[in-house]
Structure 1
Amino acid sequence: MKLIALGLNHLTAPVSLREQVAFDENAAGDALRELAREPGVDEALILSTCNRTELYVSVTAGAENVPQEWLSRHHRLTHGKLDEFLYRHDDEAAVRHMFRVATGLDSMVLGEPQILGQVKEAYQHAREAHALKTPMDRLLQHTFAVAKRVRTDTRIGAHTVSVAFTAVRLAERVFTDLRQACVLLIGAGDTIDLAVRHLAEKQVRRLIVANRTLENAQELAGRHGGYAIALSDLPQHLAEADIVIASTAARQPVLTRAMVEKAIAARRRKPMFMVDIAVPRDIEPAVGELPDVYLYGIDDLRQVIDDNRRSRENAAREADAIIDLQVERYMAWRRALTVRNPAVDLRAHAETYRDQVLDKARAMLARGKSPDEALAFLANTLTNKLLHHPSARLREATLSGDYDLLHAAGRLYGLDEDEKTSDE
């Protein structure tokens, strides 16, 4: 069975393509079950975030191209459209890639912690879809342990600059004093939650949180003295916003060019700053063509993030060293799955001998033999049967000078420990 990690991310593909292959969280289960039914696919996990879409699959020989073909077919893309943007890692490289992703070493924001939560969500979806078996389930458990150790043993998470924090920093470049700004946040997930915290620290003049589920918006806004609205009420409140930060799971844009044009007119051409962190995008790209609108997408944040990356590069090297060791440990366990354990055969032979000798001892009792005689027969015969083949091989090893086998036998049967005990 081959383990494959296949995907594209912020380094290999533009946001316009990433949003085409993103998976809706509500449809993740159906997609997983569909992928797991593909010929040759034994296990499957889908990780889909604003910066990456990745498939982790175990496939049988000859099915190595099935995941890529399925990904294109599932998203109704023309044949070959993804070829130049995809990366693929096999077996050991796939394990290393998963470890690096979960620890934030492959993120746009080096060391960012949100990705681990997203990996855990992907794992939960895969379990609920019954798309995992022991090997990949073990890999995910190992992944979480590695991520925890990297966080504990290195400074990869020190002063981490999240995407949400970067969006706020970018807003500060446009609005020198955020205390005078009204900020509209669209969505109520983790990214928007982080953004709200940063903005509250900056003491913005007003916070408005818009979300499809009004109760979620009210809960988030209430914690930071903000005002909550339903997503359907966006057109009535958009003109109030100096800054808009959007991050929802919507499949279609929630802010259109027409909506923003009306808001700009109502603001009498007062500029608006917008950051779209979502993939698929929440704000129509055409909005960026409007005068007095400054629209930034997820890929535009890279320069700000890169400025803060260098301080964590030493910690990243330490994290990679930890990962290399843990990759080998997992792969050793995985290789052991393909090796037949002789202990299984040994126990089966022993149980067969036991049953045969026990039947004969019972027959002796039935013929009137004494219990002592039957027990002596059972003990002697069973001992001879169990030790016959090992004794014959050890005699041959003694005569031929096969000291490796003799030492191995000593370790196997604990005889070397007996010798140490007698010496003491």
Structure 2
Amino acid sequence: MPKSFRTSGTNLTRAKTHNHRVVLEIIRTRGPIGRSEIAEITSLSRQTVQNIVAELDAEGIVEMHAGKASGRGHPGMRVQVRADHACSLGFHVDRLAVTALACNLLGDVIWSGAGHLAAPSTASANALVRDLVAQFRAARPDMADRLFGIGLAAPGPFAADAEELQHLTSTADATTFTEFGLPDNLADLSGRLKLPVVLQNDASAAALGEHVYGIGRSFGSFAFLQFGMGLGAGFVLNGAIYPGSTKNAGEIGHVQVQHGGRSCSCGSRGCLERYLSLHALCERLGLDPTARASIASIEQRFEAGDPEILAWMDEVAPYMRQAINLIEMMLDPDAIILGGIIRPDFIEALLRRAEPFLPRLAPSAPGEQRIHVGTAGARAVALGASAAAVEALFAPSVAELVLSPA
């Protein structure tokens, strides 16, 4: 992975916390690893790295192991995160259900749970999240006291205040959970759970899940297109998620592609997701987009080669081509990855119909693949939500460096 702020140490006066986070980030993402390798990657002195690792070891966050012998002399010690030191819970909230995963510090899934929503609302989702946290604590009492944070991922856009909430809910449909972003809602949920709560939109969480657990590990910067009832994008830039100032970055589904086109939940008309989304396909097929059985029906009809679904794919393929072109021209990412709540071969079929893609400004190398289908699977959003909680606690950040007290 290319060197970035997250993997570079500093000698600034306020840098102790940042350097600890940088070293831990390297150990967490690349361990087991030798201390000399950490020093080389971070540009910190070997003595500084040794001191930081010793402190992390004393706190029980990392553990040391002898490396493999190579030639004469003793093998060097290698350091890795102690997996069971702590865990986080990630929740994928969609308009039909909530999926929960608990992961240890190495990203291993140690518990999973799910439940159906009584209604597609923030209140119903909050209640189910609280119930699933209680289920985790009952099922894993050995890790209950080591649960340090909650990651939430849901369809956006999120409202940042009451005025914005009123605007978004005046025309919103069930594809969004606008109230999730309200500070009062997050504070209330955090208070009830007695844990920090981190929020991401579902596309950003899926991008983080793909970055940590899937094909995204191969790229320093990429965009993830989340194909669901709506259409969103998540961005990993130089190894870090870019959430936007209100955690609404990547709402590509609300880019206008048809002037005066179909009315959208955001209040505009002709938005991309009104044509390119599973909600749009449900409308085309006469299926209820709020019914859980609709996705299964689409998958079954697709597998059977339903001509109406294939015709829809042909019609919306230009929109897919346009979305990919827009992202490439704006961000120049290493790759674009697609995933979502529908089976991967459905997405692959849609991508084939979108070919050939428009050229990038910089020509691709011979045989280079620009567009990929994600490999983290249907759990990518929940995995990413869990990873978001880990990132909030452990990962380096500009704010932590600049704003930390002297």
- TM exceeds 0.5? no
Work out which of the two has the higher radius of gyration on C-alpha atoms and give 1 or 2. Answer: 1
From the two aligned structures, give the one with the greater helix fraction: 1
TM-score normalized by the length of structure 1: 0.27
Higher RCO (C-alpha 8 Å, min separation 6): 2
